[in-house]
Amino acid sequence: MVGFSFGARTRRKAQNSRQFSTGRQFSAEIHSHTEFDNVSRVLESRAMGRLCCSRYEREARQKGWQRIAGLDEAGRGSLFGPVVAAAVILNPTRRIVGLDDSKKLLPERRGELAERIRHHALAWAVAEIDASRIDAWNIYQASRQAMVAAIAQLNPFPDYLLLDALELDLPLEQKALIHGDARSISIAAASILAKVYRDARMEEFDQLYPQYGLAQNKGYGTPEHLEALRLHGPTPLHRFSYAPVREARCWAVGATQEALPLAPLVEAASD
């Protein structure tokens, strides 16, 4: 009887030990699978976040839209010259490999892709708004007006717009995407055309105003450009609504102010 009781207790302990071990192993497997799934989802999310693709164009076509235009601008933060916008309707049957946010691409690569876009797109257009109108309207409104002007040149005319984080006052179906130039191939194509066009304009302006280094800085506020503003003051094509330009106009080295004609104190008192 004693032996039986001892044996039963031993078997129960062994059975409980096996159950605990199995449960711990099962729990570890669940934890391991959960961690793997979480890591997979994070990696997939990051990959999708970096991927510039035709997802939004396909979704628009599935809803019946056919002429999908991507829009983007270049030069919003520049201190000099125009803001440029481009509009592109890509050919859905002609893939252009390598489309991405123009800021991620080397100049040579942007030039190659711009040539392919102009050759294979169903329609494309570029428009610019000069510095004086930027000062009059503000850069946000100037960028929107440049986009509207680019759209007006498209033939065929679009029936759907994909834009980078803004919407336009047009009677057209639109979708605004945060970081759209890195997510939509149509917006990426527009960003490339706008950037290539504006960079070429800056090289032209560099011939007129070589002291500002516009061919290198593209009008942006680099230390060299700010120093040139300090030494020479702004040109008529700088954006005077931007603080660095406005301040340089006031404090440029060598700036002079004509003496004001003051009446003598005696004459002023007699008046």
Q: pLDDT category, 50, cuts 50, 70, 90?
A: low
* Residue 7: per-residue pLDDT: 46
Question: Starting from the edge strand earliest in sequence, which strands make up the sheet with 123-129, in order?
Answer: 123-129, 83-89, 68-74, 160-164, 173-177
Whether the predicted pLDDT of 255 surpasses 70: no
* Residue 56: per-residue pLDDT: 98
Q: pLDDT category, 249, cuts 50, 70, 90?
A: confident
Q: Say if residue 133 is exposed, middle or buried (CB neighbours under 10 Å; 0-12, 13-18, 19+).
A: middle
Higher-confidence position of 210 and 248 = 210
Distances (CA, A) of 3 to 7, 10, 267: 6, 10, 133
* Residue 46: per-residue pLDDT: 45
3-state secondary structure of 83: strand
H or E, element range at 33: helix 2-50
Q: pLDDT category, 51, cuts 50, 70, 90?
A: confident
Higher-confidence position of 173 and 22 = 173
d(CA 219, CA 212): 8
Average pLDDT, the chain: 84
Higher-confidence position of 271 and 220 = 220
Q: pLDDT category, 36, cuts 50, 70, 90?
A: very low
What is the mean predicted confidence (pLDDT) over 150-167?
97
Whether the predicted pLDDT of 193 surpasses 50: yes
Percent of the chain scored above 90 by pLDDT? 72
d(CA 13, CA 47): 50
List domains and CATH numbers for the chain: 55-197 (3.30.420.10), 205-251 (no CATH)
Whether the predicted pLDDT of 262 surpasses 70: no
Q: pLDDT category, 165, cuts 50, 70, 90?
A: very high
∠ Cα 190 152 201 (to 5°) = 50
* Residue 250: per-residue pLDDT: 73
What is the mean predicted confidence (pLDDT) over 214-241?
97
